[in-house]
């Protein structure tokens, strides 16, 4: 291992340089990351499955290209890992559930395929809340994930493994999914960058569905530039996902350094109300002040229906989940309970294979869709979703990005909220709105509290305006970088 | 709207979940607590508001195929062309791959317990 390569704190650019300049090889680097995973992960729990054969085969291909002096693809040799809700051909994929404990998918998620086509080395599959349902990764049917910044605390969820792996240097970048905040909130809790793109920006083909109108795939990394690079790689129309949009993918990296002077940053009072921890408030307000110093104009805006976002989300998401999880019936794949009749098999398989939170959400969703309640719950929630989206449309007539906290608090302790599902749901209060409206959102670290726990600044932008979002996030991040 | 034991049993049947006694008790408590919270949506007047099933409805304009925002029905989704029209018929999963994860198979079919009681 040369003096210029150190496994901790490697960025994508550093990996690419090291491999291009032959200071290291993709195979050696993958080996170093696996060593680190074996050393650190027993206390963190980020990984569910390692796929060394696949990783080393990919690394070998990259090394062969480098040895022949061939031009290398844009993510050549970059060690990445994937949340276990995205299928990987031939590599066990569980969705964090026992019902898929032995499931080996016969195809790849498009986003994963695009990363590998760009040369990335997939190290393994990352732990998450079961079927992406949760805000702490404590709902994983396997084991919890411990926040690398304080191992007595949660990493956030549901993409807790994805955030923790980046924070603990066990992968240079990871993919997660965000249905109600599941990328942004763990990014905030673990002190890394996490992006939820616009709905339709990244194909959902191969993402095990939770709520089809709210699910998004997105990247985690240590810096905004790396997140921009991964987004550029995975974004774009996919004929396998009819909800993926035919909107061209800009070069998010090339445009990153555009000055942000003159951009208007909205601050919505509804995101700074009761329940917001004072240290989080102070850190986010400082960050907004920093944006003003960079030349942005800070504009008060109102998003008046914000308080209705959580109830709307928990009806829409659970209703869609009840439909999406109907397929887990023990017939074609996954766990099957022993039973004498078909209907008994369905019921015992599902009750045995699903955890409590999943069952709770299926029940809630089924109830909300059932005859007699459909109008009062599901249809009502869909109408409120329109109102919430209009709030953003109105605000974006006056501003270019909106700044807010990512979550009301820093990471809470493991076990703290497991017995109160409603308290756990309220942790998503600042993030679910972007899923309901489909707008992009990013969380970037903006400080720590007195316990040295990371705090996240959240930024929202218009549909398909990840460029502005990333520019502002990058400008902020660079402005607080130690000299 | 208070959820009763009977409601829990009925919904569990719809959802094909065989809840244990302990789970039924917890579920009753949790559902009531959550539904009480979500009932606040009733505070909003949505008489003249159209429901929003998904975000993609608005993407028609972004694709620049038609600036007219009053397009109806499936025109709005014209960009989501059927794969077999755009790309020609694609290969589907080979049979042996499709049954590879099956708990019980004879190689051709997925085998399940009997459906009809004799």
Whether the CB of A423 is below 8 Å from some CB of chain B: the reply is no
Q: CATH number of the domain at B5-43, please?
A: 1.10.20
**pLDDT tens figures, A212-226:** 999 999 999 999 999
Contact status, residue A99 vs residue A335, Cβ threshold 8 Å: yes
**Does A177 participate in catalysis according to the annotation?**
no
pLDDT for residue B60 is more than 90: no
Q: How many CB atoms lie within 10 A of CB A42?
A: 8
- Decide if A350 and B97 are in contact by the 8 Å CB cutoff: no
Looking only at the bridges linking them, the beta strands covering A79-83 and A121-126 are parallel
Q: What is the pLDDT of residue A384?
A: 97
Helices B21-38, A309-324: inter-axial angle, 10-degree rounding: 140
pLDDT band at B71 (very low <50, low <70, confident <90, very high): very low
Q: Which residue of the set A135, A140, A158, A159 is catalytic?
A: A158
Please provide the DSSP assignment of B44-105 as one string.
S--TT----S-GGGGHHHHTTS---TT--GGGGGTTS--HHHHT-PPPPPPHHHHTTT-SSB
Homologous superfamily (CATH) for A12-234: Amidase signature (AS) domain (3.90.1300.10)
Tell me what the mean pLDDT of segment A113-128 comes to: 98
To the nearest whole Å, the CA of A16 is away from the closest chain B CA by 35
The whole-number pLDDT of residue A369 equals 93
Q: Is the pLDDT of residue B66 over 60?
A: no
Which value, to the nearest 10 degrees, does the dihedral of the CA atoms of residues A481, A473, A236, A400 take? Answer: -160
- CA A374 to mean position of chain CA atoms: 30
CA distances to A9, A23, A118, B58 from A78, in Å? 13, 14, 9, 36
Contacts of B103 in chain A (CB under 8 A): 330-331, 333-336
Give one DSSP letter per residue of A206-253, joined into a string: TBPPS-TTT--EEEEESSHHHHHHHHHHHBS--TT-TTS-------TT
Give the strands of the sheet with A454-461, arranged side by side. Answer: A47-50, A121-126, A79-83, A173-177, A217-221, A193-196, A441-448, A454-461, A401-405, A264-268, A297-301
Counted across chains A and B, CB pairs separated by less than 8 A come out at 189
Q: Which helix (H) or strand (E) holds A175?
A: strand A173-177
DSSP state letter for A179: S
Is there a contact between A203 and A238 (Cβ–Cβ < 8 Å)?
yes
Is residue A158 helix, strand or coil? coil
C-beta atoms of A363 and B110 within 8 A = no
Which tokens sit at B97? 């791959």
Say yes or no to pLDDT of A471 above 90.
yes
Q: Calculate how close chain B gets to A178, using CA atoms only, in Å.
A: 15
Question: Helix, strand, or coil here: A15?
Answer: helix
Catalytic residue among A83, A125, A196, A222: A83
Separation between Cα atoms, residue B49 and residue B51, nearest integer Å: 6
pLDDT in tens, B72-107: 555 555 656 665 565 666 778 888 999 999 999 999
Separation in Å, CA A138 to CA A246, A321, A413: 37, 19, 11
Distance CA B27, CA A319 (A): 16
- Alpha-carbon distance of A46 to A48, in angstroms, equals 7
- Residue A2 — pLDDT band, cuts 50, 70, 90? very low
Closest alpha carbon to A1 in A30, A28, A27: A28
pLDDT band at A8 (very low <50, low <70, confident <90, very high): low
What is the arithmetic mean of pLDDT over A460-465? 98
Q: Which residues in chain A touch residue B14, judged by CB atoms under 8 angstroms apart? A: 366, 370
Stronger pLDDT, B67 or A261, i.e. the higher one: A261
Is residue A83 annotated as part of the catalytic site, yes or no?
A: yes
For residue B65, what pLDDT is reported? 40
- Listed residue (A453, A456, A358, A459) closest to A154, CA to CA: A453
The ipTM value here is 0.86
Region(s) of chain B under CATH 1.10.20: 5-43
Indicate the pLDDT class of residue A5, thresholds 50, 70 and 90: very low
How far apart (Å, rounded) are the C-alpha atoms in residues B5 and A189? 38
Residue A196 annotated as catalytic: no
A93: helix, coil or strand?
coil
> Does A372 score more than 70 pLDDT?
yes
Cα atoms in the 13 Å half-sphere on the side-chain side of A28? 13
Output the pTM of the full model: 0.94
Q: What is the mean pLDDT of chain A?
A: 95
Tokens 């007699």 — which residue? A372
Mean pLDDT across A244-266: 96
State how far residue B68 is from chain A, nearest Cα, in angstroms: 18
Question: Strand A297-301 to strand A217-221: parallel, antiparallel, or no bridges (unpaired)?
Answer: unpaired
SS3 A352: helix
Residues A116-144, mean pLDDT to the nearest whole number:
98
Residues 314-373 of A with CB under 8 A from B: 314-315, 322, 326, 329-336, 339-348, 350-351, 354, 356, 359-360, 362-364, 366-367, 370, 373
- Which range among A79-83, A201-205, B70-74 shows the weakest confidence by mean pLDDT? B70-74
User: Which residues from A are below 8 Å from B77, CB to CB?
Assistant: 242
**Block residue for tokens 């919505």:** A268
Q: Does A258 touch chain B (CB under 8 A)?
A: no
The better pLDDT of the pair A311, B79 is held by A311
């Amino acid at each position: 291992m040369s003096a210029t390569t150190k496994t901790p704190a490697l960025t994508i650019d550093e990996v690419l340089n090291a491999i291009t300049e032959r200071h290291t090889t993709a195979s050696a680097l993958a080996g170093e990351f696996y060593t680190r995973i074996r050393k650190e992960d027993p206390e963190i729990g980020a990984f569910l499955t390692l796929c060394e054969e696949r990783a080393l085969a990919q690394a070998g291909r990259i090394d062969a290209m480098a040895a022949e002096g061939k031009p290398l693809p844009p993510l050549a040799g970059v060690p990445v890992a994937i949340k276990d809700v995205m299928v990987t051909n031939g590599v066990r994929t569980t969705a964090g559930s026992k019902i898929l404990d032995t499931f080996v998918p016969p195809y790849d998620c498009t986003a994963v395929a695009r990363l590998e086509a760009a040369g990335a080395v997939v190290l393994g599959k990352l732990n998450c809340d079961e079927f992406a349902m949760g805000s702490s990764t404590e709902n994983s049917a396997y084991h919890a994930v411990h926040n690398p910044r304080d191992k007595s605390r949660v990493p956030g969820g549901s993409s807790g493994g994805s955030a923790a792996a980046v924070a603990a240097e066990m992968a240079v970048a990871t993919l997660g999914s965000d249905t109600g905040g599941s990328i942004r909130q763990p990014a905030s809790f673990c002190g890394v960058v996490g992006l939820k793109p616009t709905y339709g920006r990244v194909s959902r083909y191969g993402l095990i569905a939770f709520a089809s109108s709210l699910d998004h795939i997105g990247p985690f990394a240590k810096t905004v530039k790396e997140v921009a690079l991964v987004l550029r790689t995975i974004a774009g129309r996919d004929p396998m996902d009819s909800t993926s949009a035919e909107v061209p993918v800009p070069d998010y990296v090339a445009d990153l350094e555009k000055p942000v002077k003159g951009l208007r940053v909205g601050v919505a009072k509804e995101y700074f109300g009761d329940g917001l921890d004072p240290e989080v408030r102070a850190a986010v307000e400082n960050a907004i002040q920093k944006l003003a110093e960079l030349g942005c104009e800070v504009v008060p805006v109102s998003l008046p229906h914000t308080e209705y976002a959580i109830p709307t989300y928990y009806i829409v998401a659970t209703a869609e989940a009840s439909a999406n999880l109907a397929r887990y019936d023990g017939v074609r794949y996954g766990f099957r309970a022993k039973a004498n009749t078909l209907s008994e098999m369905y019921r015992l398989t599902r009750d045995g294979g699903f955890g409590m939170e999943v069952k709770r959400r299926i029940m809630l969703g089924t109830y909300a869709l059932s005859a007699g309640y459909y109008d009062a719950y599901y249809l009502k929630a869909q109408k409120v979703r329109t109102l919430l989206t209009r709030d953003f449309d109105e605000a974006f007539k006056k501003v270019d990005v909106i700044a807010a906290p990512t979550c009301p608090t820093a990471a809470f302790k493991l076990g703290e909220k497991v017995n109160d599902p409603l308290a756990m749901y309220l942790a998503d209060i600042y993030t679910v709105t972007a899923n309901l409206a489909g707008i992009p959102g990013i969380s970037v670290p903006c400080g720590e509290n007195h316990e040295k726990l990371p705090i996240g600044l959240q930024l929202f932008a218009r549909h398909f305006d990840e460029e502005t979002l990333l520019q502002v996030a990058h400008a902020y991040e660079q402005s607080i970088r130690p000299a | 709207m208070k959820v009763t034991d009977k409601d829990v049993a009925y919904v569990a049947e719809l959802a094909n979940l065989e809840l244990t006694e302990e789970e039924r008790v917890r579920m009753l408590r949790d559902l009531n607590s959550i539904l009480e919270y979500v009932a606040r949506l009733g505070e909003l007047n949505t008489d003249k508001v159209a429901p929003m099933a998904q975000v993609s409805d608005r993407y028609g304009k972004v694709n620049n195929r038609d600036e007219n925002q009053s397009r109806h029905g499936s025109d709005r989704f014209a960009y989501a062309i059927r794969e077999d029209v755009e790309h020609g018929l694609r290969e589907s999963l080979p049979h042996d791959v499709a049954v590879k994860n099956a708990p019980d198979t004879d190689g051709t079919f997925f085998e399940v317990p009997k459906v009809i009681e004799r």
